[in-house]
């Protein structure tokens, strides 16, 4: 009779990140939101590359399915801020631009450019052209003479020189850019698209945020409030920070942890016809004053007023100041 060696079974150790996937995916009755601390720990593991790709995909899609909470977004933001090392730069507005435009040109870029001419220091950031058929800020920077910065030193110089700087997400948070780039692999946007809008990496006086999907605006406002930030969240045109003059706008604000709401009625008496095509040259023509076009002028004046509202002006003051800035702009481009 042959003696066979005893079979030894060892249970493999559970991966440290598995607990977070389990919390989100344990069925209808067992699943729950992450606490703020759990969210901070989970995002820390993601940012430190201590998570398997399968876990990353599962985590992002489970969050997407259930919809992220304010506590989760606050915890995620804290994890990233702990790992960032930007210099101490004076910035008035944090202006995330991640959605791209498909129905109208990005008039918010002219709004930001005009504000910057008048001493408002604006840090813009974006995540690249991740969805076909949309026009992204990065594609128009050179056309509109907006500085593209690839490091913090260039941001500092651009802010000092002209008050406006754009820096791609990949250059200051490459791990987040990698997660955003999974959109076409996973088939859905992930919470990272939302997270990038909340981050305010330079600690600007006010963070502007645009969230297109209904119900997410209040979550973003509450997350910024938990972080003690000053922010205004809107449902901007196409998902960008741009007021649609053909529709009422609801401002979800938070100042020093205190929430506030404000309704801005539509500015146009009748709905404008969507342009047949998006020609970037039209942006330059409007800036120079070569053409008169009511939609872009209403959109950019309202967007400038939104930014000034975030910096402490009343709505009436903000619209008056925005019009003064626009009328006195340097039209060279």
Distance, C-alpha 188 to centroid of its chain: 17
User: Given this model, what pLDDT does residue 183 score?
Assistant: 83
User: Given this model, what pLDDT does residue 2 score?
Assistant: 65
User: Given this model, what pLDDT does residue 244 score?
Assistant: 95
276 pLDDT tier (thresholds 50, 70, 90) = confident
Which are the contacts of 323, defined by CB distance < 8 A and separation ≥ 6?
301
134 pLDDT tier (thresholds 50, 70, 90) = confident
Q: Which two tokens stand for residue 110?
A: 């002219």
10 pLDDT tier (thresholds 50, 70, 90) = confident
**What DSSP letter does each residue of 127-193 carry, written as one string?**
----STT-B-GGGTTTTTT--B-SSHHHHHHHHHHHSEEEEEHHHH-HHHHHHHTTHHHHSS--HHH
pLDDT of residue 279 exceeding 60: yes
129 pLDDT tier (thresholds 50, 70, 90) = confident
Chain mean pLDDT for the chain: 93
Average pLDDT of 193-220? 93
pLDDT of residue 216 exceeding 90: no
User: Given this model, what pLDDT does residue 119 score?
Assistant: 97
pLDDT of residue 256 exceeding 80: yes
Q: Looking at residue 273, what DSSP letter applies?
A: P
pLDDT of residue 130 exceeding 80: no
4 pLDDT tier (thresholds 50, 70, 90) = low
pLDDT of residue 1 exceeding 60: no
User: Given this model, what pLDDT does residue 126 score?
Assistant: 95
pLDDT of residue 196 exceeding 60: yes
pLDDT of residue 154 exceeding 80: yes
DSSP-based three-state secondary structure for 231: strand
Average pLDDT of 222-236? 97
Q: Which domains does the chain have, with CATH numbers?
A: 18-83 (1.20.970.10), 93-327 (3.40.1030.10)
CB atoms inside a 10 Å sphere around CB 213: 13
User: Given this model, what pLDDT does residue 203 score?
Assistant: 96
Encode pLDDT of 71-128 as tens digits: 999 999 999 999 998 999 999 999 999 999 989 999 999 999 999 999 999 999 999 8
pLDDT of residue 168 exceeding 80: yes
E strands, the chain, in order: 93-96, 122-126, 164-168, 206-210, 231-234, 249-255, 258-264
User: Given this model, what pLDDT does residue 81 score?
Assistant: 96
189 pLDDT tier (thresholds 50, 70, 90) = confident
User: Given this model, what pLDDT does residue 275 score?
Assistant: 81
Tell me which of 16-20, 25-29, 104-108, 243-247 is least confident.
25-29
User: Given this model, what pLDDT does residue 307 score?
Assistant: 98
User: Given this model, what pLDDT does residue 174 score?
Assistant: 94
């Amino acid at each position: 009779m042959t003696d066979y060696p005893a079979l030894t079974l060892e249970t493999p150790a559970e991966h440290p990140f598995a607990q977070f996937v389990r919390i989100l995916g344990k069925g209808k009755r067992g699943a729950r939101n992450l606490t703020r601390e759990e969210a901070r720990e989970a995002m820390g593991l993601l940012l430190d590359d201590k998570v398997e790709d399968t876990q990353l995909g599962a985590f992002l899609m489970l969050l997407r399915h259930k919809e992220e909470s304010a506590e989760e977004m606050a915890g995620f933001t804290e994890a990233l801020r702990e790992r960032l090392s930007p210099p101490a730069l004076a910035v008035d507005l944090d202006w995330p631009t991640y959605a791209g435009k498909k129905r109208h040109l990005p008039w918010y870029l002219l709004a930001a450019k005009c504000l910057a001419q008048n001493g408002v220091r604006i840090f813009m950031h974006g995540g690249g052209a991740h969805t076909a058929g949309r026009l992204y800020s990065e594609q128009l920077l050179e056309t509109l003479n907006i500085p593209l910065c690839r490091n913090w030193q260039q941001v500092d110089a651009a802010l000092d020189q002209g008050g406006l700087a754009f820096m791609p997400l990949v250059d200051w948070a490459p791990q987040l850019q990698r997660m955003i780039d999974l959109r076409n692999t996973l088939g859905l946007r992930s919470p990272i698209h939302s997270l990038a809008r909340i981050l305010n990496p330079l600690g600007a006086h006010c963070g502007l945020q645009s969230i297109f999907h209904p119900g997410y605006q209040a979550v973003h406002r509450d997350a910024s409030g938990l972080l003690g930030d000053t922010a205004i969240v809107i449902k901007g045109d196409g998902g960008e920070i741009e007021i649609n003059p053909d529709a009422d706008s609801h401002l979800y604000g938070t100042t020093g942890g205190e929430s506030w709401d404000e309704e801005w009625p539509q500015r146009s008496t009748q709905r404008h016809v969507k342009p047949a095509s998006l020609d970037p040259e039209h942006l330059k023509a409007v800036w120079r004053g070569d053409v008169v076009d009511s939609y872009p002028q209403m959109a950019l004046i309202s967007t400038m007023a939104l930014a000034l509202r975030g910096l402490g002006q009343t709505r009436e003051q903000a619209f008056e100041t925005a019009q003064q800035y626009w009328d006195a702009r340097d039209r060279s481009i």
